Amino acid sequence: MQRFKLTIEYDGRPFVGWQRQKNGPSAQAVIEDAFQKFAPGETVKVTGSGRTDAGVHALGQVAHLDLERDMTADQLQGALNYHMQPRGSVSIVKAEAVHADFNARFDAVKRHYVYRIANRRAPLTFDQGLKWHVKTQLDHEAMHEAAQVLVGQHDFTTFRHVACQAKSPVKTMDYLRVEREGDEVRLYAGARSFLHHQIRSITGTLKLVGEGNWTKADVQAALDARDRQALGFNAPPDGLYFKHVEFDT
């Protein structure tokens, strides 16, 4: 048996999320179903570093799987990419043979996300479903400044979906950076792990700051409230990308 590490890109628009679910297509199912096409009868379980919600994208999701059959990493990558349907939904950008004790979920020590906002009046063309469309001119510097309130270890109950299954609402945010490039505003976030909807909740709240409706003190008060009702706004999944994962190896 050989374990492989896969680095995976996917366009989240057609998916109910990363994880296989009964109510619709998922990135995980696309990969597992592709495997069935070149190894009929064999089943494989693909374990990801993190779940992503419906409509959320990945540039560098990482997963592991075990193969009984004799294949090189290059062969596995080629075969999966050849068989995945629909074409253009998921792409294995890298495949590596790894030790049998490598675990994409439990060995991940840092997860990095980026949230992309198209900040312009005109409707989106290329970026529909790929960025959050915010028409009000955003003050990205004020957003960055207010975001620093959330860096470090905090009880993020306010920024957590009510259905979040994590045992504790306490998380450590390693960094939050808000930058502008032309009419795109990007929020970069890194942490060992995140709560359900945490980045979208933070982004939605910082948007209120960028529009001038909230201050840094309001963000602090929302955090201190430890109450989901204190949340400013929850951003849509469109602009969220699981960017890359760091491992302790």
Residue 113's alpha-carbon distances to 12, 31, 89, 151, in angstroms, are 14, 22, 19, 15
Q: Is 53 a catalytic residue?
A: yes
Please, what is the minimum distance in Å from the beta carbon of residue 57 to a copy of itself?
8
Please, what is the minimum distance in Å from the beta carbon of residue 93 to a copy of itself?
4
Residue keyed to tokens 């949230």: 115
Q: What's CA 114's distance to the chain center, in Å?
A: 8
Cis peptide preceding 169, ω within 30 of 0: no
Q: Which residue, among 160, 119, 144, 4, has the nearest Cα to 72 in the 3D structure?
A: 4
**Candidates 8-16, 36-44, 165-173, 228-236 — which segment interacts with a copy of itself by CB under 8 A?**
8-16
Toward a copy of itself, which CB reaches closer, 122 or 163?
A: 122
Main-chain dihedrals φ then ψ at residue 30, nearest 5 degrees: -60, -40
Q: Is 47 in the site for a copy of itself (CB under 8 A)?
A: no
Strands 132-134 and 108-119 come out as: parallel
CB atoms within 10 A of CB 228: 16
Q: Total residues at the site for a copy of itself (CB under 8 A)? A: 23
- Using CB under 8 A as the criterion, what x/- string covers residues 130-169 for binding a copy of itself? x---------------------------------------
Q: Is 18 in the site for a copy of itself (CB under 8 A)?
A: no
Q: Is 19 in the site for a copy of itself (CB under 8 A)?
A: no
**Candidates 36-44, 88-96, 141-149, 187-195 — which segment interacts with a copy of itself by CB under 8 A?**
88-96
Q: Is 73 in the site for a copy of itself (CB under 8 A)?
A: no
Please, what is the minimum distance in Å from the beta carbon of residue 207 to a copy of itself?
21
Toward a copy of itself, which CB reaches closer, 90 or 150?
A: 90
- Asked if 238 contacts 55 with a C-beta cutoff of 8 angstroms, the reply is yes
**Which is it for the CA torsion 169, 170, 172, 176, positive or negative?**
positive
Q: What is the spatial distance between Cα 167 and Cα 163, in angstroms, rounded to a whole number?
A: 12
Q: What is the spatial distance between Cα 231 and Cα 117, in angstroms, rounded to a whole number?
A: 19
Among positions 105-124, residues that touch a copy of itself (CB under 8 A) are: 120, 122-124
Residue of 87, 99, 167, 168 interacting with a copy of itself (CB under 8 A): 87
Residue of 128, 136, 172, 213 interacting with a copy of itself (CB under 8 A): 128
Residue 30's alpha-carbon distances to 6, 40, 206, 249, in angstroms, are 14, 15, 34, 28
Q: Among 11, 53, 127, 139, which one carries the catalytic annotation?
A: 53
Binding positions for a copy of itself, rule: CB under 8 A: 9-11, 57, 77, 81, 84, 87-94, 120, 122-126, 128, 130
